[in-house]
Structure 1
Amino acid sequence: MMAARTVAALSCLVMMLRLSEAAVYKVGDSAGWTTIANVDYKQWASTKTFHIGDTILFEYNPQFHNVMRVTHPMYRSCNNSNPISTFTTGNDSITLTNHGHHFFFCGVPGHCLAGQKLDLNVLRPASTTPLSDPPTSSSPPPLTTNIPAAEVPGPSPSLAASLPSPAMARFTAVVALLVSLVFANFAS
């Protein structure tokens, strides 16, 4: 019985280590979500590898921009008439909850046509990947919204670069709990 509890606790620990790998990506890096800096968002996305659980952060001036999640046809034509969702805080955090393409653009007239649009592809979960140290957070996380992806094939992503992940505190608490459960099992 004790061995079964230990195996269950260690399995939970491995699962939590996987979840702690989630990254936070600031769209456009230091330039943010804008038309002024001439950011190539297609190029920006091509340098990242997005996974389920990652968060994308849109930072922008809400007086001049917004973020609309749209379908692939709407993305291609910059049609902002019926978005899936619209974000307007200037600090929009969106957790990617499934694989596939996610399409976004600024709904302010002319901004999408000027290139303020993003197509990012979330990879299917791999059966095994090496574990790495999760990044640490230097600022409080913004409000988070979970959204599903659109079902459209796309280009393969490349290596990831990420900002700090807000999952570290949760991860630490779960690890502490699991360690205490393992030691409690050994003591009984």
Structure 2
Amino acid sequence: MASSRILIAIAVLAMVVAPAFAVEHIVGDEKGWALNFDYQAWSEGKEFRVGDKLVFKYPEGAHDVLKVDGAAFQQCAAPATAEALTSGDDVIELATPGRKWYICGIGRHCEAGKMKLAITVLPERVESPASSPSGDEAPGPNSSSAASRIALPKYAAWMAGFFGIVFMIMV
């Protein structure tokens, strides 16, 4: 009986902790999705992976977010079929690897205000958070070690502690 409780506790813990490895990228950090910000510079050095999320924060009605292709990105012109995100707190889950392009379709915000973001999404993470860099790679801000890529949500530590206590009670 105790062994089945242990297995259940481990399964529940795995379901809670696994999604914690996704990174939520606030586009533009504290500046948000705004005019006259260099989003290319912002994205440099960041690693975007399948499962991560882009969060576009801006005053509702002031901007929008359009996912476009490379040609539309270069021309700052969204196809008529492009659906604009307009909530001011738009979340886009990066579901597939490859190049992704986003622009603001309001007025001339893309051209004049540089409201455009191009990123490359890599395959999802497969390392464990405890893994360390290989011997030929020095850890640092651009290191590909799992620890430098994983941003745990604020509640993850609390959840891990909670399920640890539940696990101890069940044993």
TM over 0.5: yes
Shift of 1:118: 0.6
**Counterparts of 2:151 and 2:2, CA distance in 1:** 40
Please say if 1:111 is aligned against 2:98.
Answer: no
Match of 1:42 among 40, 43, 48: 40
What's the counterpart of residue 85 of structure 2?
A: 87
Shift of 1:68: 0.8
> Are the counterparts in 2 of residues 24 and 164 from structure 1 also a CA contact under 8 Å?
no
**What whole-Å deviation, never above 9, does each CA across 1:140-167 have from its counterpart, x for those lacking one?**
xxxxxxxxxxxxxxxxxx566898737x
Match runs of 1:1-188 below 5 Å = 6=6, 9-10=9-10, 13-14=13-14, 16-35=16-35, 38-114=36-112, 115-131=114-130, 158=142, 165=153, 168=155, 172=159, 176=162, 180=166, 184=170, 186=171
> Are the counterparts in 2 of residues 106 and 117 from structure 1 also a CA contact under 8 Å?
yes
1:63 partner SS = coil
Give the structure, 1 or 2, with the largest relative contact order (CA under 8 Å, sep 6 or more). Answer: 1
Could you tell me which amino acid in structure 1 is paired with residue 86 of structure 2? T
Could you tell me which amino acid in structure 1 is paired with residue 97 of structure 2? H
**Gap change, CA 1:96 and 1:170, over 3 Å in 2:** farther
What's the counterpart of residue 149 of structure 1?
A: none
What is the root-mean-square deviation in Å for CA atoms of aligned residues? Answer: 3.5
> Are the counterparts in 1 of residues 66 and 82 from structure 2 also a CA contact under 8 Å?
yes
- Over the matched positions of the two proteins, sequence identity in percent amounts to 28
> Are the counterparts in 2 of residues 59 and 90 from structure 1 also a CA contact under 8 Å?
yes
> Are the counterparts in 1 of residues 17 and 156 from structure 2 also a CA contact under 8 Å?
no
Aligned length: 156
Could you tell me which amino acid in structure 2 is paired with residue 69 of structure 1? K
**Gap change, CA 1:171 and 1:16, over 3 Å in 2:** farther
**Counterparts of 1:83 and 1:129, CA distance in 2:** 40
Shift of 1:16: 3.7
TM-score, structure 1 normalization? 0.63
**Counterparts of 1:164 and 1:180, CA distance in 2:** 21
1:18 partner SS = helix
Query: Structure 1 stretches of 5 or more lacking a match?
Result: 133-157
TM-score, structure 2 normalization? 0.68
**Counterparts of 1:161 and 1:128, CA distance in 2:** 10
**Gap change, CA 1:169 and 1:161, over 3 Å in 2:** closer
**Counterparts of 1:163 and 1:127, CA distance in 2:** 15
> Are the counterparts in 1 of residues 13 and 163 from structure 2 also a CA contact under 8 Å?
no
